[in-house]
Structure 1
Amino acid sequence: MALKPHTQYSKKVYLETLQKVAKNPEEYLEDESLGAIANALVEEAKEPIAMREKHLDFKIYGEEHIEQGAMHQMYTAMKLPVADSGALMPDAHQGYGLPIGGVLATKNSVIPYGVGVDIGCRMCLSIYDMPKERLQTDKEVLKKMLSNNTRFGSASFQRSMDHEIFERDEFRELEVVKNLKDRAWRQIGSSGGGNHFVEFGVVRITEEENEFNLPPGSYMGLLSHSGSRGLGANIARHYTNLAMATTKLPQEARHLAWLDMDTDAGKEYWAAMNLAGDYASACHHQIHERMAIGLHTTPLTRVENHHNFAWKEKNVQGEEVIVHRKGATPAGEGVLGIIPGSMTAPGYIVRGRGIAHSINSASHGAGRVMSRTQAKKTLDETGVSRHLKDHGVEVLGSGLDEAPMAYKDINTVMNSQRELVEILGSFTPKIVRMCGDKRFKEVD
């Protein structure tokens, strides 16, 4: 018995009909008014896809410094039937689905939550032909430049800069992306909240043989960290929900649901993901362009890399796999990248060594040692301010959740991955701009 719209029925008839649907939902799949309920019941009744009984072996770097929650998430990921290989980086900590710092190669499938919500989150470093002393002599000018030429969180520029990214076919052909174009236009050139930043600092080139053709020494640099803003977040949300609806997994693995690369949904996500990654890159380039205008110069060189993304690569058998790096830096042989530290600790310019056991990857930063909640509860503004002052760092807008003490020791992390990357140089922050206008207390 179908329930026709706008027809009055007694409560008893409704209940009797719903009981019939619950008992035999297959008979109501095409029903005009009950089809949605019937389909949901059929999906709910499906048995979850079987996981491997034992997880595949994978390499762990810096295991003694990694929390058990992240380890457990990686064990679960390596039980997926589509898993090919994996690795856990020394900055790893617990996330959703794949842990932050997790690298997972899969066969013919892409996991939206294996990429992460902030698709294409990346680092970008510009190195200028300017002495590091300008960070002191021109400090007030540089602070003003950061305040005037960056936007974080929900803030955006009154006048957006145009970019060729908006001519891409995906904005016309993908329904999900089409509806996000206006928002992407408003947010281009801005940065997200949380741990995203734009900062001036000291670049030290230590290797005589480097891809930049720069002599060893100290330079002024600009480092930015951000992703694909609302565009990437909405793409991630839509396709994660779609993957979870179509790939039913046991409860503990539900966020690792995948999309088959041969399906329309898988192809759509791949196109949307790559668009979001290119958009993230465009945001960084506009940030650096605005700064270059203010500095009246162009950079000597630029280094950049994604660390929330998926790539088509070859495994050790020469087969194509989808490599998810959720909070991990590509470190194939000769590949350049930046691994940041904290507000008071240097980040490193690196060259990948191409180590197969790491799935050609390295850490994406120092990694958190305190959750945001824990940092807010246990740290105090006066102590953090004194620490920043002792290191000669000035912060424009931040909170206790991003204090240096909330992060692991970057040198410990780098020592755990010496076999994965060569260090070509470093970047030490001096003037840091982050989300919000809150400043730590002044310390005498």
Structure 2
Amino acid sequence: MGSIKTKELSKIGYTNDQARSLVINIIAKHFKHHDKKALLQMLIEIKADPGKYLSNSVLGKIAATFLDEPVACHFQTYELLERSGYLKVYGGAGIERSAKQQMEVAMSLPVTVQGALMPDAHTGYGLPIGGVLAADQAVLPFAVGVDIGCRMALTIFDEGESFLKRFSYQIKMALKTYTHFGMEGGLNFPQEHNVLDSPVFQSTDLLKKLQLKAARQLGSSGSGNHFVEFGLIEMREGNALQLPPKKYLALLSHSGSRGLGAAIAEYYTRIAMSTCKLPKSAQQLAWLDLHSEAGQEYWLAMNLAGDYAKACHDRIHANLLKALGLQSLATIENHHNFAWEDTLADGKTVIIHRKGATPAHAGEWGIIPGSMCSAAYLVTGKGAEHSLYSASHGAGRAMSRKKAKENMTVSGMKKILASAGVTLIGGSVEESPVAYKNIETVIAAQHDLVDIQGKFMPAIVRMNKD
């Protein structure tokens, strides 16, 4: 058993980068425990007689690379359309005009099938934050975002308010010792996770160069609105976790794929914008054809970044649980900067991009945070088709970071924290609670999208210091 290297694939005639990327991805997902010799022999047979394997749901994609030349990503110029698909806006009264305009531009792309705008939406780069876009066999790097795989993770413990009060000092010390925030650096002690052994790191030159940095930053968090916090979650009567309806101690984290995701986003956005020419208003929405070499590579790298972001949360939670001697009752987690292959109600297969939006298929778990002083909601999706099976990813910003800095003082923020009974370690006025929309208003605007299962209130919060 063992992973197959690109050199070994070249030796048996897999000289095309698209084919090699596909093979490494498929083997990692479906054949990681199979014998290497048998796998190489199977790949030789696929190349020799690709038609024989075309109907195979897993191997057919590999076979197809030997029947047709890969579709080159040589886009010329595309004109915007009047409107490419149906757009549903939730909580429109609380969404700034510029974010709606950005979404309208995205709806004019020739590859757009359907769109939705969540009630926490605000202006971003390319697609607005809170924008959801279904595209036809295309992936838009800037509709995924720079922080690929940015996500939430919530662990619930069989402890309550008494633990929080009794051990608040130990919790603060654990947060200071076992978390790291900022653009660079990482934890002062080694972290291990099987994501670092993924063969996908060997699939492209870019990913090979990023593997060491990923190892160094594992278990750490970024800057901005990323956080790790302890608080109390009150579970609703009849919740889907079947936990007794009472208050539990909980750990909530928000972070993404660190330098790995940022480098992937930058690299493939540059390729998309240089090969897919669009009018100036839509330049940042350039896409990669999923059948192109660059499209296949981005998809592979994006999924690796998502796995890595999950690994960072895994380590954050494991480190803090061990430090505080806590046992988990349940862990809920979800991405909110990612793209997924999905099927619409009419049976059409599309790529759904959620840039600051929570997946909300029927029964699917999600976490929607507010600010450092307001509630986060544990929810399950209702599977609403018009929202593209999505919900908001938070309260959303009411002020830009620049405006928040101009309108809030450190002493003013401390008063808000004190009145809410929240302890902040690090943090900056850019993330002041007043910089965010009212989470209750945002949640009320998506009654048709999610069911509330629990309400979390932060108590001890760790963020990056400005």
Is residue 321 of structure 1 aligned with residue 350 of structure 2?
Answer: yes
Q: Distance in 2 between matches of 1:365 and 1:207?
A: 23
Aligned twin of 1:99: 128
Secondary structure class of the residue paired with 1:408: coil
Aligned twin of 2:61: none
CA contact (8 A) 1:207 1:425 kept: no
Q: What CA deviation, in whole Å up to 9, does each residue of 1:74-97 have, x standing for no partner?
A: 000000000000100000000000
Q: What CA deviation, in whole Å up to 9, does each residue of 1:272-327 have, x standing for no partner?
A: 00000000000000000001101212210000000000000001210110000000
Is residue 164 of structure 1 aligned with residue 180 of structure 2?
Answer: no
Q: Distance in 1 between matches of 2:237 and 2:365?
A: 13
Cα drift, residue 159 of structure 1: 2.5
Once the two structures are superposed, the pairs formed by residues 389-404 of structure 1 within 5 Å of their partners are: 389-404=418-433
Aligned twin of 1:195: 225
Q: Distance in 2 between matches of 1:321 and 1:366?
A: 27
Paired letter, 1:191: S
CA contact (8 A) 2:84 2:112 kept: no
Q: Distance in 2 between matches of 1:331 and 1:203?
A: 20
Q: What CA deviation, in whole Å up to 9, does each residue of 1:308-360 have, x standing for no partner?
A: 00000001210110000000000000000100011111000000000000000
Cα drift, residue 387 of structure 1: 1.1
Is residue 179 of structure 1 aligned with residue 205 of structure 2?
Answer: no
Q: Which runs of 5+ in 1 are unaligned?
A: 1-42, 439-444
Cα drift, residue 56 of structure 1: 3.3
Q: Distance in 2 between matches of 1:236 and 1:97?
A: 13
Aligned twin of 1:121: 150
CA contact (8 A) 2:338 2:355 kept: yes
Aligned twin of 1:263: 292
Aligned twin of 1:279: 308
Q: How many residues align?
A: 393
Secondary structure class of the residue paired with 1:225: strand
Equivalent in 312, 321, 334 of residue 363 of structure 2? 334
Q: What CA deviation, in whole Å up to 9, does each residue of 1:54-74 have, x standing for no partner?
A: 453311000000001100100
Equivalent in 163, 173, 176 of residue 144 of structure 1? 173
Aligned twin of 1:9: none
CA contact (8 A) 2:185 2:216 kept: no
Paired letter, 2:228: V
Aligned twin of 2:12: none
Q: Distance in 1 between matches of 2:458 and 2:384?
A: 29
Aligned twin of 2:45: none
Paired letter, 2:201: F
Is residue 155 of structure 1 aligned with residue 185 of structure 2?
Answer: yes
Stretches of 4+ aligned residues off by more than 2 angstroms: 53-57
Q: Which moved more, 1:304-313 or 1:292-301?
A: 292-301
Secondary structure class of the residue paired with 1:195: coil
Cα drift, residue 47 of structure 1: 6.2
What is the TM-score normalised by the length of structure 1? 0.87
The alpha-carbon distance between structure 1 residues 255 and 147, as it changes in their structure 2 partners (threshold 3 A), is same
Aligned twin of 1:22: none
CA contact (8 A) 1:120 1:306 kept: yes
Cα drift, residue 127 of structure 1: 0.3
Equivalent in 274, 277, 299 of residue 245 of structure 1? 274
What is the TM-score normalised by the length of structure 2? 0.83
Equivalent in 417, 426, 429 of residue 388 of structure 1? 417
Cα drift, residue 133 of structure 1: 2.2
Cα drift, residue 53 of structure 1: 2.5
Q: Distance in 1 between matches of 2:333 and 2:227?
A: 14
User: What's the RMSD between the two structures over aligned residues?
Assistant: 1.4
Aligned twin of 1:29: none
Aligned twin of 1:36: none
Aligned twin of 2:253: 224
Secondary structure class of the residue paired with 1:224: strand
Paired letter, 1:51: L
Q: What CA deviation, in whole Å up to 9, does each residue of 1:227-280 have, x standing for no partner?
A: 000000000000000000110011110010000011111011000000000000
Q: Distance in 1 between matches of 2:116 and 2:190?
A: 40
Is residue 52 of structure 1 aligned with residue 81 of structure 2?
Answer: yes
The alpha-carbon distance between structure 1 residues 47 and 175, as it changes in their structure 2 partners (threshold 3 A), is closer
Paired letter, 1:196: H
Aligned twin of 2:52: none
Paired letter, 2:216: R
CA contact (8 A) 1:48 1:249 kept: yes
Q: Distance in 2 between matches of 1:327 and 1:407?
A: 14
Paired letter, 1:151: H
Is residue 362 of structure 1 aligned with residue 383 of structure 2?
Answer: no
Paired letter, 1:356: E
Q: What CA deviation, in whole Å up to 9, does each residue of 1:189-225 have, x standing for no partner?
A: 0000000000000011013242x23111000000000
CA contact (8 A) 1:341 1:365 kept: yes
Aligned twin of 1:11: none
Q: Distance in 2 between matches of 1:321 and 1:160?
A: 40
Secondary structure class of the residue paired with 2:248: strand
Secondary structure class of the residue paired with 1:58: strand
Paired letter, 1:97: G
CA contact (8 A) 1:55 1:76 kept: no
Secondary structure class of the residue paired with 2:370: coil
Q: Which runs of 5+ in 2 are unaligned?
A: 1-72
Q: Distance in 2 between matches of 1:295 and 1:65?
A: 41
Paired letter, 1:216: P
Report which of the two structures shows the higher radius of gyration computed on alpha carbons.
Answer: 1
